[in-house]
Structure 1
Amino acid sequence: MVDTKTPGDKTLSVPSKTLSLKPRVETGTVRQSFSHGRTKQVVVEKRGKRRIGGDGPETHAPEPVVAKPAVPAPKPPLGRPSGSPQGQPQRNTRSGVVLPTLTEDERSARASALADARQRDIEERRQAEEEAKRRAAREAAEKIEREAAEARRKAEEERHRHEEEAKRKAEVEAKRRFGEGEAKPGAPAAAAPAKPAAPATATAARPATSAPSRPGSSAPGRTTTTTTARTPASAPRAPAVAAEADEDEGPRLVRRPGGAIRPAAAPKTTHKPGPQKERGRLTVTTALNADDVRERSIASFRRRTQRLKGHASNEPKEKLIREVTIPEAITIQELANRMSERAVDVIRMLMKQGAMHKITDVIDADTAQLIAEELGHTVKRVAAADVEEGLFDVVDDSTDTEPRSPVVTVMGHVDHGKTSLLDALRHANVVSGEAGGITQHIGAYQVLSPESGTKITFIDTPGHAAFTAMRARGAKVTDIVVLVVAADDGVMPQTIEAINHAKAAKVPMIVAINKIDKPDARPERVRTELLQHEVQVESLGGEVVDVEVSAKNKTNLDRLLEMIALQAEILDLKTNSERPAEGTVIEAKLDRGRGPVATVLVQRGTLRIGDIIVAGAEMGRVRALISDQGENLEEAGPSVPVEVLGFNGPPEAGDRLAVVENEARARQVTSYRAHQKRENAAASISGMRGSLEQMMSQLKTAGRKEFPLIVKADVQGSLEAILGSLEKLGTEEVAARILHAGVGGISESDVTLAEGFNAAIIGFSVRANKEAAAAAKRNGIEIRYYNIIYDLVDDIKKAMSGLLAPTLRETMLGNAQILEVFNISKVGKVAGCRVTDGTVERGANVRLIRDNVVVHEGKLSTLKRFKDEVKEVVAGQECGMAFENYGDMRVGDVIECYRIETIQRSL
């Protein structure tokens, strides 16, 4: 419906056809021309610009609806035509029903709706204009980019054209210079008439399209141009020149329908003129300097070498099949080197198996074997421990052996006279030098038998309970065990342990019953007690030899030596003295003046000065050999105990010593052993759980207190004994934590370590140097010195006992019964009680028991006898009692009084 009285409004009409946008794209085909006569037909799309704003008619596409949104004419309200006055009702021409006029609210709603519609139209028009501006800016930027690209393309074409022109000129000049010497004598005369025609040809060719000659043409020095226009009559020789150039020198030009004239491709020639090979590569420099003598450049020689190498690399190489030695773990780089393969190929094969690795990663032996076999190599599996093969236990040839001295270990309980017996045999006085009168070091000595004239090697072991490892070590290297038992003391715990060591080593045993000179000596008691441990002496029908001796009076010492020599003769001890030496480290220490010193018992072969030796994780070269008498030796044969100087570090007691052929083998063995040692230490520190029992024990000891210590000793054996004793002191609540243990004096580094962990330093038969003592005093670090292992263990035991939590023990004092409860102002409730048994003390702990149930525990705050405060009330008396912070007391309750005592625990 249209309001005819409003001239400014437009009439909206809906066309019969569906509204649609015409495509703005016009397509066509264009043929592009490229260099060297190539063409390409492409499809080009032409897009028309969309005009927005209504300033002019739209050229290519109809205007979108959003560009100029049409404002719809407001619909007239129901019941009133658009041309009637507002207050007069109109009759509906269709239905004939008269509609009511608009109310004031309806008119205001209609006006607001019209205003909103106008506002929306304005907003949509503004958005359309902004979109048109953005589109115009974007199209302008694209146009600028296209123009810049076109300019770059033209500049590139111009540059190529200039390069082609310069190259053509250089080729013409080169041909002119080099061609003069090769031309025949009649050639210049024949070519002379053609020169005047060249300008005419060039002049005629200017309007036409020409192309420069290609470098690959047969005559690169000249240019021939053809044209579609006829040649003037004033130049009758131009067609002949053009034909000659077309046949001999210039490229043949071909006209294709619809395109320009393009030079045809010159036929490829496989034969090159001989002189050009001599000239080498033709460049602008060579063309301008043609008269100079040219030599082959370094770059040319390098290119030739690379070309020859490239041809050689294309030739198939013969596959190298190797025997690859694979240890338990190997890196990818090392495996590739051993196979003579590329590491990239090994990594690629691992990736095919689903494993990503780097060149430095370590793979196991099984994976390495699979890869090596897949590449066609043979595999030899070896273990890391194979480096020790051939060091020990090489069987000697029976024809090269000779008798050797027996090795006798003296064992027994502490203070049974072992060292005194050896002193009597050696005519020495070792006991006087021992701290506390007990042997705390293992010693090795040689004694000459007076009757047979043979030497006997004695190993003296400590008898203290802490030196179990020393006794075991002595029993391991011995041939005969001499069990020393005091006649006045009998069989003791360490005697039993020595018997067990001898049985475990499967060596014969001789019982020496010592101290028979004492009044209370009873040798028969000793023989009887030995029967309980399956040791039956000859006097009781057994096989064990027993000798009654006295070290003090030197009684029966000859008989003891005779029995030892007889037993050695029965054993028939032989060895090869010419082979490389093998032995066992009996003891090791760090001497401040001489460095690492090891007491070694040579068991096989001969040890000489200058030999390269390996013992445990330490290696070295023998610098000196010192006997038990302090004499310097050049060599030490079998069964000879010597002190060896020359180790890089002190080896551990019990390590086996061997002589190797060179330092490389020594480093290989020691590195393997050091690696094993580090792995074992890391496993013990990290707490690797092997069984359920170990896991439970670790859970129990998880919260225990630790007593940090740094232990330094004079020799390895003493250090080993101290560490074993401290480990036995530990319980589930407290234990000694050894931060560092070593052989040698106390240094500044030990003090620094103790300061960091607030630890104590224990020195056994060693002292701190001047700098370490000053640092310890300055930082408040305690250093304890000991010479006797008893005192050291006792002091550490007392110190660790101080870390134990005290025990609380409850002591019952007495009971009282409540007879009456009084409520006193400003005091509270007070119970009148009678003490039934024991005593009641003020300040003691009390329990309030009602019907045999404890209802309160606290302290007794008030205890009165009549009106006076008293300290205690005995049984049978009455008193008044009050509790701290508690008042719920009833008649008949029982008060139980007790005291809590704190008892300090000890290990």
Structure 2
Amino acid sequence: MSDSDGKKTLGVRGGGPRSGNVKQSFSHGRTKNVVVETKRKRVVVPKPGAANKGTGTAGAASGDPSRRQSAGVTDTEMARRLKALQMAKAREADEAAQREADEKARAEERERRRAEIEAKEREEREREERARQKAEEEERKRLEAEAEAKRQKEAESARGAEPRQGATARAGAGAPARPEDDTPARRGGGGGGGANDRPGRNDNRDNRAPRGGKGRDDNRRSGKLTLNQALSGNEGGREKSIAAMKRKQERARQKAMGGQVEREKIVRDVQLPETIVVSELANRMAERVGEVVKSLMQMGMMVTQNQTIDADTAELIIEEFGHKVVRVSYSDVEDVIQQVEDSAENLQPRPPVITIMGHVDHGKTSLLDAIRKTKVVAGEAGGITQHIGAYQVTTESGAVLTFLDTPGHAAFTSMRSRGAQVTDIVVLVVAADDAVMPQTVEAINHAKAAGVPMIVAINKIDKHGADPMKVRTDLLQHEVVVEAMSGEVQDVEVSAMTGQGLDELLEAIALQAEILELKANPNRAAQGAVIEAQLDVGRGPVATVLVQNGTLKQGDIFVVGEQWGRVRAMENDKGARVKEAGPSVPVEVLGLNGTPEAGDVLNVVDTEAQAREIADYRADVAKEKRAAAGAATTLEQLMAKAKEDANVAELPIVVKADVQGSAEAIVQAMEKIGNDEVRVRVLHSGVGAITETDVGLAEASGAPVFGFNVRANAPARNSANQKGVEIRYYSVIYDLVDDVKAAASGLLGNEVRENFIGYAQIKEVFKVSHVGKVAGCLVTEGVARRSAGVRLLRDNVVIHEGTLKTLKRFKDEVAEVQSGQECGMAFENYEDIRPGDVIEIFEREEIERSLA
């Protein structure tokens, strides 16, 4: 919009066309005049007849079509808005009333608190005033008593001085003056102006000082200073000062007004390990880190909050801060997984865990396959995951059995060596056409060592030449007496090919499990054992775990051996994902941070920090043990250890040979080695190559492995290198026996033998400076050596035994003196020598003892 002269104008709505100037101000003092034109608003007049068109609401509408369209909802909208406005006003009125009531209540509360505080203050002031008045009264009485005593003293002195009766009378006239007789005449020196009146005036001035001027203030101050004395005299004990009462009153006032109140110090029980970080120490004491660092610096230790201090220093800091010390060991981290005995009402029956053992080619694998094929329900055939090493079978009677597949019995031995007993029943498979073989004996030894019941399954009963009775007879040689031979061990004749006797075998297992009454508590933190573990390329570390107690659930945090983790997923023996696993259920567990070892125990803990701390502690202990034990368990180390430890009286060994005859001969030779002090114990003897089982057994017992005309297979060699087990090979039986004799001889202590090499007789005793007493001797027999041991004999009685300090021939130090020659001898730390004494000279010799 512009004016006629070209100037820009501003339009303003409303009114008629009016114009005017507006002055605009800018920065730096610049201004500008602008012409402003104001226009009137356009008024629309409705056309005639428009009121008759439309609906009943058309009369209220204007000429604008949009207004006519919206006029139909105006009343409803206005009613709704009016109602909402009324509700809002009512709500605001209610809120205002509530606020007013709250404010009134708060005002009343403040007024009540103020009244209480004023009442307390008034009471305090009254108590102080009473105490002050009481103190002033006592002070006044004390002064009066002193003045009275002074008057009496002056009266007595006046009576004793007769020549000065006048002075005495005047003094007596001035003496009755009291502190309260503070009249203007006395203050002005009335009552006489002579020199004789001065003593009276001085006394009155001294006595009335507390009653006027500055003396009155001193009296009040003295009253405050003697308040405690006055109160203690009445009540017999020291009371709180006025300042302490005021501080208490101030704390009460702050508490009443909602202010902060100083808290009392809390004494805490601080758990203290061998070492602790400064910041962790402050956290456990609930103190500021800076205060702890300051205390350490005052002790002369310049440390930061991230440094570690020892337990003794930390104990001083804890005591300085007023807390109590609770010493804990580093190994206490495992206390969180200590076993708790379950009550009988919480125990529930669980399936038995069966391990099948036997010699190679005796049908162990075929028997497992036969059990699986006949007892796995339809649709599950072939669904067994072989590498899991464990599966469950349900018998016709409904009993659930858990079978472990442990090739080579490696896991079985490792579990026993680590204290994880998972097997409940051992099924010993023996071929009817082959009878008892070396690995059969090995399985028997394992079962006996584990202390679990055994069931003998005589397999291949369908083959030609099968002789079950020969199997039973051979088992007698290994102290296994079956029921057919009037023993207690169950024996079942089975055939893995035809399926004969499988039902009887499962029933025998179920019967044995029923006798054992196996129970566990499923409603607790899970505990289990690792059957086997591997590092899967796609899934990471995977462990096959047999749950022994409790229920393992997805998401549980656990620690297993030197590893820890969280259950990310679980798979059962059929390869299906499961959310939880109860007692005696084998599952594959994913979510470990590393690969554990077979036989490691799995325990569920509460927090990830606990699991990590326990795993780190076990790793440190294992590292220290490996560092202390060295790289291997060799014969030399075993001999050295036996010499240091006097309690060792056994030499354990493991023997493997090429044929049964050689093995028996070696065992018989080992039994003959030894005496009353030491003997050789054969842990296991067998036929065939040295396997991982032998290495595991040797590691568990700390024994070497002897191989006669046999070698260790590749897995056994690797296992021996990892576990530090020594394997020795022999081809001549006598060499093997000699080495074992030498190792056993190392258990015997060396024999010390004395050889007498000469005698000397003391002829004279001399005193030599810086040397002491020196014996002039004559070697009468043998030879005298300075390195030899000597005994001093007096009348054929030994009075000293020791070594020579010096041996001289004339003035020269010599190594030895022959018989018939004279020499000088001096004893080490002994000088009680006399002429005529005899010196016995001998040498000690250590002789190694050996077994014949």
Q: TM-score band, normalised by the shorter chain?
A: 0.3 to 0.5
- Which gives a bigger RCO, structure 1 or 2 (Cα 8 Å, sep 6+)? 2
**Hey, which of these two has a bigger chunk of helix by percent?**
2
**TM-score scaled by structure 1?**
0.38
Structure of greater Rg: 1
